[in-house]
């Protein structure tokens, strides 16, 4: 593999809390990110939760 062929972009498959975190950290570090999500909106399972431990914060 030649270094000059290295593509400075990352594909992230899945727009839940985990995929969003990956995408944000990579974009903020200077990489182009493609974030792909199956459903019509990002957020994943966490967006379905009512509140979360320990602060009972809303999950949004």
- Dihedral sign, Cα of residue 54, residue 18, residue 58, residue 28: positive
Distance in Å, CB of 28 to other proteins, minimum: 4
Residues 14-53 that bind other proteins (CB under 8 A): 14, 16-23, 25-32, 34, 36, 38-53
- The DSSP element (H or E) to which 13 belongs, if any, is strand 9-13
Distance in Å, CB of 37 to other proteins, minimum: 10
Distance (Å, whole) CA 29 – CA 46: 25
**Footprint of other proteins on this chain (CB under 8 A)?**
1, 3, 5-14, 16-23, 25-32, 34, 36, 38-57, 60
């Amino acid at each position: 593999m030649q270094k000059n062929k290295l593509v400075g972009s990352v594909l992230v498959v899945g727009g839940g809390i985990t995929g969003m975190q990956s995408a944000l950290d990579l974009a903020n570090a200077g990489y182009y990110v493609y974030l792909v999500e199956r459903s019509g909106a990002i957020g994943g399972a966490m967006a379905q939760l009512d509140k979360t431990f320990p602060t009972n914060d809303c999950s949004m």
